[in-house]
Amino acid sequence: MDPIITNTRFTKVLMDGDSGLNINYANTLDAMGISGAKLRVNGAPFHSIVPGKRYMPLGQIDLPVTFGYPSNFRKETLTFEVVGFRGTYHAILGWPCYVKFMAIPNYTYLKLKMLGPNGVITVHTTY
């Protein structure tokens, strides 16, 4: 999926409907020019990200996320947990993203559908 997060289009974003978190990486925020000083403190650790261990995120940040095309797009603000380790993706969007966008995934065809102002937005995979 190629969402626009803030003003940057990302080509390596995982849509993970089994995840209860939206995750962004500190190095991704650095590449976007977003300072770590903008993070809110979050005292809640999470599990299953680092196998067998609990992990304390660096903080949380709210960022606008856009799906679609100039003629039909949808933009919502999502809360991301920011982690300090490197990942394969630029970000991971979990079920909080699906709920906020009221999106329906089709894992067989690797598509995501949501309602936009000019009809249904179908987001395709870039692989």
Please list the rounded mean pLDDT of every run of 10 residues in the chain (127 residues).
Answer: 87 87 92 90 76 84 94 96 89 94 90 94 81
Predicted local confidence at residue 61, as pLDDT: 95
Contact residues for 113 (Cβ-Cβ < 8 A; gap 6+): 103, 104, 106, 120, 121, 122, 123
Assigned architecture for domain 4-124: Beta Barrel (2.40)
Predicted local confidence at residue 1, as pLDDT: 60
Residue ranges per structural domain of the chain: 4-124
> What do you get for the CA distance between the two ends of the chain, in Å?
9
Cα distance between residue 21 and residue 23, in whole Å: 6
